[in-house]
Amino acid sequence: MKIVILDGYTENPGDLSWEGIEKFGDLTVYDRTPEDKVIERISGAEIVFTNKTPVSKAAIESNPKLQFIGVLATGYNIVNVAAAKEAGVVVSNIPTYGTDAVAQYAMALLLEMCHHVGEHSDCVKAGEWTNNKDWCFWNHPLIELAGKTLGVIGFGRIGQRTAEIAMAFGMNILAYDEYQNKALESDRCRYVSLDELLANSDAISLHCPLFPSTEGIINKDTIAKMKDGVMIINTSRGPLIVEADLRDALNSGKVAGAAVDVVSTEPIKMDNPLLQAKNMIITPHIAWAPKESRKRLMDIAVENLQAFVNGSPENVVNK
Ligand code: NAD
């Protein structure tokens, strides 16, 4: 059986092993594949794995041997699942692997906005402490989270885990979700309308998927409804935020700080409005990427392939 991995590098830059997949057949791993090379590279392969490389209708139809596409991620919008279904090709994804890592990262971004740890350390190394008149100094307002309110938009797996950690820091939670599970409510955590969340949160963390209904959910109108000096965190998907509107709100001081791991176009373009914003932290889509989380992703990819080979595919997204 011929197996091709189109873009293996981000999942396994060398600290994990492909042997779990290799045992199923003749494996070729490409670090990256340009879109115009997909058809050539999957030619004759029964099994194809992709992380972010698009597998189009034309690519699927070009290879009559293709049986299974394993997506090495949760989001599978890069695969034309309808064309795959038409061609009888099973597409599986990895629904959960990084809940703890992404929730931890959302808190890391919030904590960075509260303390600016990296920047203070850089100042010390640059001699600012040595030359300081007092025994301590800080360059930004320092913020204590206990007693403050975190608004969580999208109260699914990652949103709930983020809320649990935030509650351990003494925060109260306002959750907004299309579907409500009242069992998750407590005296420190309750569901509210989006407007109530916007009006009462000291920090807002985005954890809903990118759907037409959520695209641009943070825009000048919703920002206007927020508290002055709010902090915004996005570890979900870049297009949830109208970036020019957030830039303006940061530069006017309406939003005190924002920290995002995702932007509208990735890798980020140098004309992205967020690069012109004050008090803005941007990281290169790494919330998912601790080794523990990538190992879990790898294990589930192997389980998905095993289940397919056994004739009872799991995590199928194009039934
Ligand atoms: P999940 O499906 O468990 O939770 C998503 C929640 O959003 C659900 O409760 C759903 O009801 C809710 N939702 C859907 N539409 C909504 C709407 N219109 N308004 C409000 N809520 C709505 O997903 P998850 O595992 O918690 O992941 C959340 C998101 O995190 C993913 O969609 C993905 O975009 C992102 N993610 C990012 C990284 C990263 O590395 N930065 C890694 C993994 C996931």
User: Which residues lie across from 233 on neighbouring strands?
Assistant: 205, 259
Atom of ligand 1 nearest to the CA of 99: 25
- Token pair, residue 266, equals 């990735």
Cβ–ligand 1 distance for 98 under 6 Å, the answer yes
Cα(293)–Cα(295) distance, integer angstroms: 5
pLDDT band at 79 (very low <50, low <70, confident <90, very high): very high
The two domains 2-97+291-309 and 99-282 share their CATH topology (first three levels equal)? yes
Q: Ligand 1 pocket test: which of 155, 208, 282 has the largest number of ligand atoms within 8 Å of its C-beta?
A: 208
What is the rounded average pLDDT of the residues 194-215? Answer: 97
Query: Nearest 5 degrees, angle CA 78-CA 176-CA 208?
Result: 10
With contact defined as beta carbons under 8 Å apart, do 249 and 220 qualify? yes
**What spacing in Å lies between the alpha carbon of 105 and ligand 1's midpoint?**
15
Rounded to two decimals, the pTM is 0.94
CATH number of 2-97+291-309: 3.40.50.720
Cα(12)–Cα(74) distance, integer angstroms: 16
With contact defined as beta carbons under 8 Å apart, do 250 and 277 qualify? yes
Residue 67 is predicted with a pLDDT of 98
pLDDT tens digit sequence for 114-165? 999 999 999 999 999 999 999 999 999 999 999 999 999 999 999 999 999 9
Determine which residue's CA is closest to atom 32 belonging to ligand 1. 209
What's 241's DSSP letter? B
**What spacing in Å lies between the alpha carbon of 57 and ligand 1's midpoint?**
27
Q: What CATH superfamily is the domain 99-282? A: NAD(P)-binding Rossmann-like Domain (3.40.50.720)
Query: Beta strand 2-5 with 26-29: parallel, antiparallel or unpaired?
Result: parallel
Catalytic residue positions, numbered: 237, 266, 285
**What spacing in Å lies between the alpha carbon of 31 and ligand 1's midpoint?**
27
Cβ–ligand 1 distance for 208 under 6 Å, the answer yes
**What spacing in Å lies between the alpha carbon of 257 and ligand 1's midpoint?**
22
Residue 133 is predicted with a pLDDT of 98
pLDDT band at 112 (very low <50, low <70, confident <90, very high): very high
Determine which residue's CA is closest to atom 27 belonging to ligand 1. 158
Cα(30)–Cα(11) distance, integer angstroms: 12
- Token pair, residue 115, equals 């303390």
Residue 75 is predicted with a pLDDT of 85
- Show me where the domains of the chain are located: 2-97+291-309, 99-282
